Structure 1
Amino acid sequence: MTPLVVGQLLSPEYSLGLVALSFLISFAGSLVALICAGRMVGADGKPNLAVVACAAVALGGIGIWSMHFIGMLAYRLPVGISYNVPLTVVSLVAAILISGIALYLAGGRSKFSKPGWLAGSLLAGVGVCVMHYMGMFAMNMRASMDFDLNIVGLSVAIAITAAGAALWLAFNLRRLSHKVAAAAVMGVAVCTMHYVGMSAANMICIAAAPADALAIGGNYMGLSVFGTAGAVLIFIYWVITGTSLDAPAAARRVRTS
């Protein structure tokens, strides 16, 4: 292996298996979020905050954050990479909170509204970018990052557009087949934003990685995140389609029968 030189531009590679998993988890999270969105408003016109929370976890925590983190793990450099735990956790919480607020603004209060949709799209798009670049700065490695601001701007535009599409689809689709197709589109959009954002950074070799006592890493972390995220999605789907949180939907069916 050729020794690295300080100041050398590092060439990244990707694990195609983890790239595929990143899309799959984004698709699955988006689909469960779409299913949740159809149940966020009760028969009385009031929001079911428990369902809003489930949708936020499915979309923000799984469809967006887990996709981004697995995508980060797919990113390979000729230096070791670990991740700062506090920043990683903050980025996860931020993704869930921002998604919940955006979903609530767009259609969780009573019904889908254009002003709420626009506000939610802007909030979610900017929030996704903040979460993404926070995740990049959580990388602990023997490299510094030099960003191409034009590509950063492109990633922001993609994120806002993708957020707008996701929120519109969440509240304007009813048939399951349409939701499956929409989830695939959302998965592609989220992945596109992520990998465009990653390409904005040029990695420059430095003398040594910063000391970080609270860092995590490992060869199997991608599979661990995928498995954990999948289990959470299964639980959310089970809860949402069960009787506890589905009472408003059940009430609607009784009233219309």
Structure 2
Amino acid sequence: MQGTVDGFSYGLITPLVAYLMACLGGALGLRCTTRSMLVAQSWRPGWLALGSAAIGSGIWTMHFIAMTGFTVEETPIRYDKAMTFASLAVAVVMVGIGIFIVGYKGARGTALFTGGTITGLGIASMHYLGMASMRLDGVLEYHTLTVAASVVIAVCAATAALWAAGQVRGLLWSVGASLVMGLAVSGMHYTGMAALRVHLHGTTAPASGDSPAALLAPMLIGPLAFLLLAGVVVMFDPLMVMGRPTVVPVEQKPGIPAHPAVHRDSAHRLQFRPRRTVEHRAPRTPQNR
């Protein structure tokens, strides 16, 4: 028996909230990636790890917020707790690998392609592992070409977002990159859901698993709290808006001490440079000519 699938049982509320969560996680994570390129090597792993956790949490939160609006009319749905947690770990780890590649190798060429591909595959892996955590009296079937299209969407959009994050051009670039990242996650999710068909064996409730209300609501509190904390860390960072170092090095000539540069804002910089020494000579008179 074919199940009647409804992915929008709450209307447009769940897709919009899910997209906003994906954008929030992407904004924080990509901003941390940008920030890592402006610090010393010793601080870079910390910023990249924070960015990986933010993007992974945003992806996971987006997916399961969207899934709260997913129903199969003929049968109740349950979720396996262990596999649901595993999908979060997969998202953080795979996205982290891609971000660390771009963070250390740069957002260009082979490094960008490799990092974007791994990040996109992390988004897709999280989605389909999260779908596998569903328990119902039936089986899930997927249309192969639509699944492949969803993976391509995730890889291309994730690559574009990492490229934008690597430009280090300030807050607006990071906002744009986060919108692209949110589009990657949401587009991949709903394309993957379009590939889904549910073949039911019956209408009884599954023997194992927790209901969406009992499992998803408490589990979403942790990632949401983490995203809030990461947002506070990023917002209070001095380079959040500027996206550039606050100190501009002054060229130092041999034998002349350099003065520190003074930063006014991201668009205007004042540099105090040493004045040239001018030799004052006495006026020429008939006696000293």
TM-score by length of structure 1 reads 0.84
Task: Report runs of 4+ in structure 1 exceeding 6 Å deviation.
Answer: none
Give the distance between the partners of 1:135 and 1:220, measured in 2 at CA. 13
Of 182, 197, 220, the match for 1:202: 197
Partner residue, 1:237: 231
Q: Report the AA paired with residue 129 of structure 1.
A: A
Of 62, 68, 81, the match for 1:67: 62
Give the distance between the partners of 2:192 and 2:112, measured in 1 at CA. 24
Of 140, 149, 154, the match for 1:145: 140
Post-superposition Cα deviations, 1:116-167, rounded to whole Å, max 9, x if no partner, equal: 1111122122222221111111011223112111111111111111221121
Unaligned runs of 5+ in 1: 1-6
Percent pairwise identity: 28
**Does residue 10 of structure 1 match 2:4?**
yes
Give the distance between the partners of 2:157 and 2:244, measured in 1 at CA. 33
- Show the 5 A alignment for 1:17-96: 17-45=13-41, 48-62=44-58, 64-78=59-73, 79-96=75-92
Give the secondary-structure state (helix, strand or coil) at the position aligned to 2:213.
coil
Post-superposition Cα deviations, 1:175-220, rounded to whole Å, max 9, x if no partner, equal: 21232233223212210110010111111222244422x5352189
Asked if the contact 1:47/1:109 (under 8 Å) is kept, the reply is: no
RMSD: 2.7
Give the secondary-structure state (helix, strand or coil) at the position aligned to 1:74.
coil
Give the distance between the partners of 2:21 and 2:244, measured in 1 at CA. 32
Asked if the contact 1:21/1:226 (under 8 Å) is kept, the reply is: no
Of 237, 246, 263, the match for 1:253: 246
Moved more, 87-96 or 47-56: 47-56
Deviation at 1:251, TM superposition (A): 11
Unaligned runs of 5+ in 2: 250-260, 262-289
Pair 181,43 (structure 1): closer, same or farther in 2 beyond 3 Å: closer
Give the distance between the partners of 2:142 and 2:152, measured in 1 at CA. 16
- Structure of higher CA gyration radius: 2
How many residues align? The count is: 244
TM-score by length of structure 2 reads 0.75
Moved more, 10-19 or 117-126: 10-19
Pair 46,250 (structure 1): closer, same or farther in 2 beyond 3 Å: farther
Pair 111,149 (structure 1): closer, same or farther in 2 beyond 3 Å: closer
Of 166, 171, 183, the match for 2:166: 171
Post-superposition Cα deviations, 1:80-112, rounded to whole Å, max 9, x if no partner, equal: 212111111111011001111101111x21533
Asked if the contact 2:80/2:133 (under 8 Å) is kept, the reply is: yes
Give the distance between the partners of 2:185 and 2:228, measured in 1 at CA. 21
**Does residue 133 of structure 1 match 2:128?**
yes
Give the distance between the partners of 1:190 and 1:166, measured in 2 at CA. 11
Deviation at 1:30, TM superposition (A): 1.1
Give the distance between the partners of 1:19 and 1:226, measured in 2 at CA. 16
Q: Which has the higher helix share?
A: 1
